[in-house]
Amino acid sequence: MSSSDGGRSQRFLSKVCLVTGGSRGLGLAAAQAFAREGARVIIVARDPEQLSAASAQIKGDVIPISGDLASVAGIKQVVAEISAHVDQIDVAYLNAGRAGIKRLEAMDEETWDRVFDTNVKGPFFLVQSIKPMLVPGSTIVFCGSAAAKNATAGLAAYGSSKAALEHLTRILAAELVAEDIRVNIVVPGGMNTDIALHTDGLDPQSSQAFRERIRLGTPMLREGEPDELADAVLFLASSEASYITGAQLAVDGGATGFRRPPS
């Protein structure tokens, strides 16, 4: 049953769920799904206008917070605002990310640092900052990428950063297991979002062609829908996954598992 189906039980009733990058795409879909299941949802994103629009789409108790999670200073500001609203966090879905497509000769330090700051440094120091608010039984879910496993020319910064995030998931799972905090990661493949339009090094004209190449390289020959990833996020965040930590859950149409047999 999809998370978009109102028949799902209220697994997150009275829970506080933090979603970063929650103003559009995969983050917004997850925030909407948490809210449908009874959660009080905190969404964090950089753009105040997008945050306002997203809040209007989420039916339920939502707290929008504007901030940049790519720096420690920005993280501290966001966490201070979160603390003004809630005393604890039950679920943290750290979805905010940045993509970049530049080959070896074209890569520059600014792009490399921007991708790694958003995809690796930010999630690590955000967990460090919200750690005092995480209660026993709480969960952290990171958003990885099939690019961490499938080597693609031009994705040196993005693929490497997501591979680092996968390993960081296992390390944090090991550090937090004694405190009854689970840490897992979802690994989406090509998804039906506008991320290609927000990718460093990819112009709007070529973004559709890039998406088509990913689709054709996916065994199921289609993009995933944001609600399909949200289902996986909510599963890992729920008590249904109570014996799962340090794990990766691929939601990628088979892209990281096998190649489509010839027809």
The residue segments making up the domain with residue 61 are: 16-251
**H-type helices in the chain, by residue range?**
25-36, 48-57, 72-85, 109-116, 122-130, 156-176, 204-216, 226-237
Tell me the Cα Rg of the chain.
17
- Tell me whether residue 7 is in a domain: no
Q: In this model, does residue 195 exceed pLDDT 80?
A: no
What are 94's strand-pairing partners? 20, 142
127-180 pLDDT, tens digit each: 999 999 999 999 999 999 999 999 999 999 999 999 999 999 999 999 999 999
pLDDT band at 202 (very low <50, low <70, confident <90, very high): confident
Please state the domain count of the chain: 1
Q: In this model, does residue 1 exceed pLDDT 70?
A: no
- Tell me whether residue 261 is in a domain: no
Q: Active-site residue 158, yes or no?
A: yes
* DSSP state for residue 121 in the 8-state scheme: I
C-beta separation of 139 from 237 below 8 A: yes
- Tell me whether residue 10 is in a domain: no
Q: How many CB atoms lie within 10 A of CB 53?
A: 14
* pLDDT, averaged across the chain: 94
Q: Which own/partner pairs from 113-117 qualify as long-range (CB within 8 Å, at least 24 positions apart)? A: 114/70, 114/200, 115/157, 115/158, 115/161, 115/200, 116/157, 116/160, 116/161, 116/164, 117/70, 117/71
- Tell me whether residue 156 is in a domain: yes
**Triad 253, 119, 213: Cα angle to 5°:** 35
Among residues 91, 158, 165, 183, the one annotated as catalytic is 158
C-beta separation of 48 from 81 below 8 A: no
C-beta separation of 178 from 243 below 8 A: no
- Tell me whether residue 2 is in a domain: no
C-beta separation of 95 from 20 below 8 A: yes
- Tell me whether residue 121 is in a domain: yes
As a whole number of angstroms, the distance between CA 94 and CA 92 comes to: 6
Count how many Cα atoms sit within 13 Å of the Cα of residue 209 in the half-sphere of its side chain.
5
As a whole number of angstroms, the distance between CA 149 and CA 143 comes to: 14
Residue with tokens 């994705």: 155
76-103 pLDDT, tens digit each: 999 999 999 999 999 999 999 999 899 9
Among the listed residues 95, 90, 108, 35, the one whose alpha carbon sits nearest the alpha carbon of residue 69 = 95
CATH of the domain at 231: 3.40.50.720
- The per-residue pLDDT for 8 is 60
C-beta separation of 187 from 251 below 8 A: yes
- First vs last Cα of the chain: how many Å apart? 30
H or E stretch covering 118? none
**Triad 216, 221, 224: Cα angle to 5°:** 110
- Tell me whether residue 6 is in a domain: no
Task: Answer whether 0.85 is exceeded by the pTM.
Answer: yes
- Tell me whether residue 5 is in a domain: no
Q: Which two tokens stand for residue 152?
A: 């693609």
Among the listed residues 199, 227, 230, the one whose alpha carbon sits nearest the alpha carbon of residue 214 = 199
